[in-house]
């Protein structure tokens, strides 16, 4: 039988690229809709109409939107992300360090929350109906229902204001030791982990319970397999698809959640940069930040889909 995997994977990647194109167009249109004229904002209220017109021409703002979109897209493809309107630095330079900071935060959060969430979800499925399962399920639902700014503000109130254990804001520049690194990361990471773990726990639990109710799980039991073996060798391989998807969806939520968390903790990441860029109407910076988020989201979802395809033996 001819394997369908290469064509399926290729198809999935093409769809992702097409989505990216549509997304870039949407982002461009959305930033176009932002109120106010960039040239006027940049020059201030004292600017003469001639000066504004001159600046508009110099920034190609007088050209049709489609042409500007193509120019911008071409720049993206050749690695030219444009120049910030606000401080005339290349966008790439502005984003570089910030992106690393955000990725660091996301990576630490993922490293902590994914294993914990998967283990908790699987344990809850195996001990279905027990006290442990009920507590986990209730907590997960509770956490899902609480918005992350609530968790973040509560954490600041408790640990920074009331207990005074941790700094309320994150200053990465002061990091000298592992302990300081931990102090900087701990609150943002806890906040983000809380929100994304709950969804992963629920989905993992459901996927494993579904697989455990299948006749092949009963067959394994009747072959004398232990509970652990039934879960690890029989149920999990069939639950990989849904679990990977839940993980990807949760991690992609990091990208959105990070905006609020970085703002609240004043963490110098790309999301904070984007929020600042909106207030200065720095269009190239906003557009690029948005593209980075979308790229991250698409990369996660596409990876999950490809993993699910690879995990399905019927396609092998």
Partner 1 sequence: MANLVEIRGLRVEARTDSGRRVEIIRGVDLDVAPGEILALIGESGSGKTTIALTLMGYARPGCRIVGGSVHVDGHDMAALPEAARAALRGTTVAYIPQSAAAAFNPARTVMDQVTEVARIHDLMPPEEARARAVALFRALALPEPETIGARYPHQVSGGQLQRLSAAMALIGRPKLVIFDEPTTALDVTTQIEVLRAFKSVMKDSGAAGVYVSHDLAVVAQVADRITVLKGGAVQEVGATAQILSAPAHPYTRALLDAFEPAGGPRAAPAPSGRPLLAVTDLVAGYGPIGRDGRPAVTALKAVSLTVERGDNLGIIGESGCGKSTLARVIAGIIAPVSGSIAFDGAPLAPGLRARSRDALRRLQIVFQLADTALNPAQSVGDILGRPLTFYHGRRGREREAGVDALLDMVRLPRALRHRLPEELSGGQKQRVNLARALAAEPELVICDEITSALDTVVAAAIIALLGDLQRELGLSYIFISHDLSMVRSICDRIAVMYAGEKIEELAPAAFGQAGTHAYSRLLHASMPKLDPGWLDGLAQQAEPPAWPAPAPAVP
Site residues (vs partner 1, CB under 8 A): 1, 214-216, 218-226, 229, 233-234, 237-238, 240, 311, 313-314, 316
| CB 234 to partner 1: min, Å | 5
Q: Kindly report the number of other CB atoms within 10 A of residue 4's CB atom.
A: 14
The nearer residue to partner 1, 60 or 223, going by C-beta atoms, is 223
| CB 219 to partner 1: min, Å | 4
The nearer residue to partner 1, 11 or 96, going by C-beta atoms, is 11
| CB 160 to partner 1: min, Å | 48
| CB 66 to partner 1: min, Å | 37
| CB 221 to partner 1: min, Å | 7
| CB 248 to partner 1: min, Å | 20
* Residue 159 CB contacts under 8 Å (≥ 6 apart), including other chains: 165, 166, 187
The nearer residue to partner 1, 178 or 228, going by C-beta atoms, is 228
The nearer residue to partner 1, 60 or 233, going by C-beta atoms, is 233
Cβ–Cβ < 8 Å for 153, 159: no
* Residue 84 CB contacts under 8 Å (≥ 6 apart), including other chains: 90, 91, 94, 277, 282, 284, 285
The nearer residue to partner 1, 49 or 224, going by C-beta atoms, is 224
The nearer residue to partner 1, 57 or 214, going by C-beta atoms, is 214
| CB 243 to partner 1: min, Å | 13
| CB 114 to partner 1: min, Å | 21
Cα distances from 252 to residues 175, 234, 242, 296, 303, in angstroms, run: 27, 29, 15, 7, 12
169 CA to centre of own chain: 21
The nearer residue to partner 1, 126 or 271, going by C-beta atoms, is 126
CA distance 220 to 306: 29
CA distance 100 to 92: 12
The nearer residue to partner 1, 57 or 223, going by C-beta atoms, is 223
């Amino acid at each position: 039988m001819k394997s369908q995997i290469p064509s399926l994977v290729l198809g999935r990647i093409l769809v992702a690229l097409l989505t990216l194109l549509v997304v870039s167009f949407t982002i461009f249109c959305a930033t176009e809709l932002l109120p106010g004229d960039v040239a006027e904002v940049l020059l201030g209220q004292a600017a003469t109409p001639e000066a504004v017109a001159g600046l508009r021409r110099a920034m190609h703002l007088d050209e049709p939107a489609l042409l500007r979109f193509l120019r911008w897209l071409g720049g993206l493809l050749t690695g030219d992300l444009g120049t910030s309107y606000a401080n005339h630095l290349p966008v790439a330079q502005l984003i570089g360090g910030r992106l690393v900071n955000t990725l660091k935060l996301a990576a630490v959060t993922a490293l902590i929350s994914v294993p914990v969430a998967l283990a908790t979800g699987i344990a809850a499925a195996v001990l279905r109906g027990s006290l442990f399962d009920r507590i986990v399920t209730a907590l997960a639902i509770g956490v899902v229902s609480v918005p992350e700014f609530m968790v973040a503000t509560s954490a600041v109130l408790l640990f920074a204001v009331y207990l005074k254990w941790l700094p309320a804001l994150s200053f990465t520049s002061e990091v000298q030791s592992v302990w300081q690194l931990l102090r900087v990361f701990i609150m943002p990471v806890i906040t983000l982990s809380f929100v994304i773990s709950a969804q992963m726990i629920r989905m993992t639990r459901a996927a494993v319970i579904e697989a455990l109710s299948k006749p092949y799980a009963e067959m394994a039991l009747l072959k004398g397999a232990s509970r652990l073996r039934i879960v690890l060798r029989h149920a999990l391989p069939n639950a990989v698809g849904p679990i990977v998807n839940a993980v990807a969806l949760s991690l992609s939520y990091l990208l959105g959640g990070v905006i609020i968390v970085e703002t609240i903790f004043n963490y110098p990441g790309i999301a904070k940069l984007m929020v600042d860029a909106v207030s200065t109407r720095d269009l190239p910076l906003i557009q690029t930040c948005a593209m980075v988020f979308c790229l991250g989201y698409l990369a996660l979802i596409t990876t999950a889909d490809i993993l699910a395809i690879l995990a399905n033996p019927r396609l092998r």
